[in-house]
Amino acid sequence: MFKISRNEKCWCGSGKKYKTCHERSDEEKLGKYVSDGYIIPDKSLILNPEQIEGIRKSAKLSIKIMDEIDKFVKEGVTTEEINTLVHKMTTDAGAIPATLNYEGFPKSVCTSINNVICHGIPDSTVLKDGDIMNVDITTILNGYYSDMSRMYMIGNVSKEAKRLVEVTKECMFAGINAVKPYTPVGEIGNVINDIADREGYSVVRALSGHGVGLKFHNDPIVEHFRTSQKTMIMVPGMVFTIEPMINQGTFDCEVLNDDWTVVTKDGKLSAQWEHTVLVTETGVEIITE
């Protein structure tokens, strides 16, 4: 099923031969999806226990950094100061900020304010009363990646902005709860889109969640909007992000002249929350929680 010889070690990391471990259950659980034209993940996307533990350790550092940001972010702070904090905590721990110099990105963290959907570049911008901001960090520790983001509300935000932030978080957790082994990854976007529709918001379509762990970006692509496509099947051992970007207005966006900053085309607010998750035999584990 996963292009593994029956006599190879099983993908699950048990050390047993595939034929005596997961071959039969894979055929039972995945066979119908193969015949229906769904995408079966490559064996390389199914991580072993040692690799998963490495990602968990990276995530512990990401969480520690983000918890420090929680204490630090307030009115009057600049996004460059947030970048300095993230960079120092990451490197002091012997880790690497994955965004720094990634395809030319110049900073160690993404800071996206108000109508910025994602990939905002830290600079001298001062946080003001009423702003909402997403802070997105990806940490590489001993070669393992963990990716997460949180929203911050600065001072007295409007009821409309607060509602957008809250609903976007609801969307993320609904998407996480949709993760079940041996089901299509497209189910994640379906439940997220249902919530956005209910609230009169739109789901950004130009950007997606992604596999992570051994690389910054990998399969599967995790769309956050509704789809009828036959998407990749989630199986135990897969690690990926769920990071819905929800807009007040339309889902249309554009990239600024810096080639990174993505903003809403209509200038309305956008919000995003993100976790790295692991597909388990019984459901899902949030690695960055």
Handedness of CA 25, 233, 244, 73 (dihedral sign): positive
Q: Is residue 228 over pLDDT 70?
A: yes
Q: Residue 3 — very low, low, confident or very high, per pLDDT cuts 50/70/90? A: low
Which residues, in sequence order, are CB contacts of 257 under 8 Å at separation 6+?
none
Q: Residue 32 — very low, low, confident or very high, per pLDDT cuts 50/70/90? A: confident
Report the distance separating Cα 243 and Cα 151, nearest Å. 12
Residues 239-253 have a mean pLDDT of 97
Residue with tokens 């512990």: 60
CATH level 2 (architecture), domain 39-286: Alpha-Beta Complex (3.90)
Which residues, in sequence order, are CB contacts of 278 under 8 Å at separation 6+?
52, 55, 237, 238, 239, 284, 285, 287
In this predicted structure, what is the pLDDT of residue 184? 96
In this predicted structure, what is the pLDDT of residue 93? 98
Using a pLDDT cut of 70, give the percent of the chain over it: 99
Report the distance separating Cα 68 and Cα 227, nearest Å. 37
Report the distance separating Cα 109 and Cα 94, nearest Å. 17
Q: Do 108 and 71 meet the contact criterion of CB atoms below 8 Å apart? A: no
In this predicted structure, what is the pLDDT of residue 1? 56
Q: Residue 36 — very low, low, confident or very high, per pLDDT cuts 50/70/90? A: confident
In this predicted structure, what is the pLDDT of residue 29? 80
pLDDT in tens, 51-63: 999 999 999 999 9
Residues 22-49 have a mean pLDDT of 86
Using a pLDDT cut of 90, give the percent of the chain over it: 85
Domain chopping of the chain, boundaries: 39-286
- Estimate to the nearest angstrom the gap between the alpha carbon of 54 and the chain centroid: 17
Q: Is residue 112 over pLDDT 70?
A: yes
Q: Residue 261 — very low, low, confident or very high, per pLDDT cuts 50/70/90? A: very high
Q: Is residue 46 over pLDDT 90?
A: yes
Q: Which of 16, 17, 20 is nearest to 7 (CA)?
A: 17
- Estimate to the nearest angstrom the gap between the alpha carbon of 59 and the chain centroid: 12
- Locate the DSSP E strands across 9-115: 96-97, 110-113
Q: Residue 262 — very low, low, confident or very high, per pLDDT cuts 50/70/90? A: very high
In this predicted structure, what is the pLDDT of residue 97? 98
In this predicted structure, what is the pLDDT of residue 31? 80
The lowest-confidence range among 6-15, 122-131, 217-226 is 6-15
Half-sphere exposure of 221 (CA within 13 A, CB side): 11
In this predicted structure, what is the pLDDT of residue 11? 76
Residue with tokens 């003001």: 128
- Estimate to the nearest angstrom the gap between the alpha carbon of 9 and the chain centroid: 30
Report the distance separating Cα 154 and Cα 19, nearest Å. 56
Residue type, position 109, single letter: V
Residues 152-163 have a mean pLDDT of 97
- pTM of the predicted structure, to 2 decimals: 0.93
